[in-house]
């Protein structure tokens, strides 16, 4: 006799939380995420369908496999994962659980998900992040990004938080820390960047300008010595 698990029919999709690494495509035109454990080699977009990470042909999620998008019920439990050394540069995702899913004690494994909001932690120096910058590693065709303040960019490939939201699309919200404002990717006048977002963009541009000026000054000193 085969045991059948009870089926849920919620009135609205469940909400879950997880951590991931933000990614930027090689040409700088797309934004995505990659997991911190299973499926870490496969970047996914804001709205994505799961497939078996082992290449099997069954539908995800399967009770006899680990495939599917993983998330936990409790935001605090997901935030706790950011304390480990290997996950310090990851970001917190708030997701909508879509399609078929398997509920377990701490969360879900689902066939589909939509990333609704991203919370970006502080820069490695402890300052509130204004951008996501090249983390020094990646996947084929994708650069991994890490939170960065304006002073720590140092000419690295980077994108502002509002810029990452626009590239990701689907109305994604990106929040810098707990006290920063939200940057919404949208097309309407109501979704235009506000003063906090413009200030962050200005700080990012100023940091890049300062870096270029320092490089020009260094080149100028070298030319003077040559004469």
pTM over 0.85: no
DSSP letters of 36-99? SBTBTTS-B-SEEE---TT---SPSS-TTS--SEEEES-HHHHHHHTTSGGGTT-EEEEEEEEE
Chain segment 147-205, per-residue pLDDT in tens = 999 999 988 999 999 999 999 999 999 998 853 334 344 444 444 555 556 666 777 77
- As a whole-number percent, the residues of the chain with pLDDT over 70 amount to 83
Which residue, among 106, 118, 101, 147, has the nearest Cα to 33 in the 3D structure? 118
Enumerate the β-bridge partners of residue 49: 112
Rounded distance between C-alpha atoms, residue 105 and residue 162, angstroms: 35
Can you tell me which residue has the tokens 């020094």? 136
- Residue 76 phi/psi, 5-degree rounding, is -60, -35
| Residue 71, number of CB atoms within 10 A of its CB | 25
The confidence band for 224, taking pLDDT boundaries of 50, 70 and 90, is low
Asked whether the CA dihedral 162, 157, 126, 120 is positive or negative, the reply is: positive
Chain segment 35-74, per-residue pLDDT in tens = 998 777 789 999 999 988 777 778 888 888 888 999 999 9
Position 185 scores a pLDDT of: 43
Mean pLDDT of 6-16: 84
């Amino acid at each position: 006799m085969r045991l059948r698990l009870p089926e849920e029919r919620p009135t609205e999709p469940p909400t879950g939380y997880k951590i991931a690494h933000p990614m930027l495509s090689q040409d700088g035109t797309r934004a995505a995420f990659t997991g911190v454990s299973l499926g870490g080699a496969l970047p996914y977009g804001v709205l994505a369908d799961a497939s078996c990470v082992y290449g099997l042909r069954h539908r995800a999620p399967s009770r006899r496999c680990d495939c599917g998008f993983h998330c936990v019920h409790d935001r605090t439990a997901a935030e706790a994962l950011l304390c480990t050394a290997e996950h310090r540069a990851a970001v917190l995702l708030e997701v909508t659980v879509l399609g078929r899913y398997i509920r377990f004690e701490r969360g879900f494994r689902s066939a589909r998900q939509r990333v609704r909001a991203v919370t970006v932690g502080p820069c490695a120096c402890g300052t509130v992040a204004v951008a996501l910058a090249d983390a020094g590693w990646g996947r084929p065709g994708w650069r991994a990004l890490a939170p960065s303040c304006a002073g720590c960019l140092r000419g690295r490939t980077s994108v502002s938080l509002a810029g990452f939201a626009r590239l990701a699309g689907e109305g994604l919200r990106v929040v810098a820390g707990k006290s920063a404002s939200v940057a919404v990717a949208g097309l309407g006048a109501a979704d235009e960047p506000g003063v906090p977002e413009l200030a962050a963009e200005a700080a990012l541009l100023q940091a890049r300008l300062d870096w270029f000026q320092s490089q020009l000054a260094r080149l100028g000193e070298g030319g003077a010595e040559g004469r």
